[in-house]
Amino acid sequence: MHIDPKGLVPDARYIPSPNCDARPDAAPPCLIVIHNISLPPDEYGGEGIIALFTNRLDPNAHPYFETIQELKVSSHFLIRRDGELIQFVPCSQRAWHAGTSHWCGRERCNDFSIGIELEGSDFEPFTEAQYARLAQLIPALLAAYPILDITGHSNIAPGRKTDPGPFFDWARIPGPTLG
């Protein structure tokens, strides 16, 4: 697996999200942020995540969707339970995954990070297929960008976020992890 000059992974299914913009000063990313997501909550395999990241979420499809229909969010990558890799935003651009956040004295982590969403929740382990895909994706990101740290959403938005959650096995992640 590799990252092409445009910041895309040729092995990923690319579904462009409108929820992105240019990185300030065109600075390359130096942080990877691991998240978890399921839509509806604790349900897997549907199109809710894709619909959310592409602004096509139907608020009538599930009661929870009514509460998040106005969100404009994205991530660079989503790894499904079966290991499928979907890319929404080129790594060269800023995805809107971190929200209000800080890391090592820097604010607005979206400016300098790559977001990887794992289809899952705080309440159960991730799959072998997801860890296998991470073991391919993370080295490709480390080879392409000056990544200094890999951390969880909970570490850059403490008190506001809990993901990737207690079931995420940080020991299985290659690279400079600070889970």
Exposure on the CB side of residue 164, measured as CA atoms within 13 A: 26
User: Do β-strands 113-119 and 102-103 pair in parallel, antiparallel, or remain unpaired?
Assistant: unpaired
Cα diameter, the chain: 43
DSSP result, 100-125 = S-EETTEE-GGGGEEEEEEE--TTSP
Catalytic residue among 43, 47, 70, 117: 117
Give yes or no for a contact between 39 and 52, defined as CB atoms under 8 angstroms apart: yes
107 CB contacts (<8 Å, ≥6 apart)?
A: 101
Reduced to 3 states, what is the DSSP secondary structure of residue 146? coil
Two structure tokens written together for 132? 């296998």
What is the DSSP pairing of strand 102-103 with strand 106-107?
A: antiparallel
DSSP structural state of residue 47? S
117 is catalytic: yes
Active site residues: 117
